[in-house]
Structure 1
Amino acid sequence: MKKIETKLEGCFILEPLKLGDKRGYFFESFNERTFQELTGTETHFVQDNQSFSTKGVLRGLHAQEGEHAQAKLVRVLQGRVLDIMVDARPNSATFGQYEAVELSDENNLQVFIPRGFLHGFVVLSDAATFFYKCDNFYHKASEWGIHYNDPTLAIDWQLPEDELIISDKDKVLPFWEK
């Protein structure tokens, strides 16, 4: 596995070593020892989540705060998404900045998102299956988020506004004032 730095402090793209021949391919998608050596973290994942969405579905920008904050390792099993990470850690050198990475079943890239980051994605293909590991359990009362179309962040979601499918919950998230 190869680690690719992002511009965000503590956030990494991981590229697996994919072995293939006429029968298909094989790659190790996760190995805790390798992951911890590459990232320099002691992250221990406790929950796996999976979602299926159609083109234009935008999920985000979400996080959990306090003792229930979550680090995530995200990837796409089927389809293609634009994955967005926003550094929401006030004491970070990259506070308020975001990174966009295209994840797909073809590139098999994964993104490690540390605790204290907002996260979201939009589906660019006809459909996508999104998979992520979390290092802390879901806790509804600790959930928070920022509006996907926050003018301060000015995220290019790569699809026209009228093609985005957004939950009622995400439509009313507050805007971020840094």
Structure 2
Amino acid sequence: MKVREMAVPDAFRITPHKFTDSRGNFYESFRHGELAEEIGRPIPITQVNYSVSRKNTLRGLHGTLLASGQAKIVCCVRGAVLDIVVDLRTGSPTYGVYEANRLDAESGDTVFVAEGLVHGFLALTDDTCVSYLCSTEFVPGTQLDIDPFDPELNLPWDLPDAPLMSAKDAGAMSVARARETGLLPDYEACLAYYAALRGTS
């Protein structure tokens, strides 16, 4: 696999090596040892989620309230998405920086999103299916929801029409509100958590 760190530190885009023949192709989407070596830490997978979305569905921005929250490996297994990762760790030298990537079933590319970062995507096709390999099981009450249209972020959704969103996502708080109320993860706490993970590998 080919691994590239994004403009957002601790987030990576992963491109698999495909083996193609007359039947189609085969590739490894996730190999723990190789990926852990590339990004410098283990990735324990304890939960796998799938979402299926109509075209123009926007999911996110989602994160966790804790530095030791939930890391994700995100892959589009059917259709295509515009995937965006944002650094909202308070004290981060890249606070507010984002990177947008197209993920689709044809490429097999995946995105690794470390704990403390926020993530969302826009479905570009009908019947888009996204897979999430998660480092921890979901814990109710720990999710952080941020307004994907917050002008402070100015994310390039490039929407032709109003998106389909859950009521929770449509009513998510602004970055300023999350910052003022102390809900954003702390950068140094995140780094300490990543270091602790490296110590277990």
TM value normalised by structure 2: 0.84
Paired position in structure 2 for 1:25: 25
In 1, are the aligned partners of 2:68 and 2:115 still within 8 Å (CA)? no
Cα deviation, residue 20, structure 1: 0.3
Asked if 1:165 is matched to 2:192, the reply is: no
- Whole-Å separation in 1 of the counterparts to 2:158 and 2:29: 27
Per the TM alignment, residue 135 of structure 1 is displaced from its structure 2 partner at its CA by 0.6
| 2:141 counterpart SS class | helix
CA distance in 1, matches of 2:68, 2:92: 19
- Which residue in 2 is equivalent to 1:150? 150
TM-score (ref. length: structure 1): 0.95
Q: Give the counterpart letter for 2:143 in structure 1.
A: E
Q: Which has the higher helix share?
A: 2
Secondary structure in structure 1 of the residue aligned to 2:44 = coil
The amino acid that maps onto 2:168 is: K
CA distance in 2, matches of 1:102, 1:11: 15
Q: Give 1:70's aligned amino acid.
A: Q
Q: What is the aligned partner in structure 1 of residue 194 from structure 2?
A: none
Contact persistence 1:68–1:142 (CA under 8 A): no
2:51 alignment partner, SS class: strand
Aligned equivalents of 1:57 and 1:109: distance in 2?
A: 20
The aligned residue for residue 175 of structure 1 is: 174
- Which has the larger strand fraction? 1
Superposed counterparts of 1:55-134, under 5 Å: 55-66=55-66, 69-134=69-134
Q: Which runs of 5+ in 2 are unaligned?
A: 180-201
Q: Distance in 2 between matches of 1:45 and 1:95?
A: 27
Question: Which secondary structure state, in structure 1, belongs to the residue aligned with residue 36 of structure 2?
Answer: helix
Q: What is the match of residue 15 of structure 1?
A: 15
Residue ranges of structure 1 left out of the alignment (5+ in a row): none
- When the two chains are superposed, the root-mean-square deviation of aligned CA atoms in Å is 1.3
Aligned to 1:5: 5
C-alpha contact (below 8 Å) 1:68/1:136 kept by paired residues: no
> CA offset at residue 66 of structure 1?
1.7
User: What do residues 74-108 of structure 1 show as CA deviations (whole Å, max 9, x unaligned)?
Assistant: 01000000011111211322111111110001111
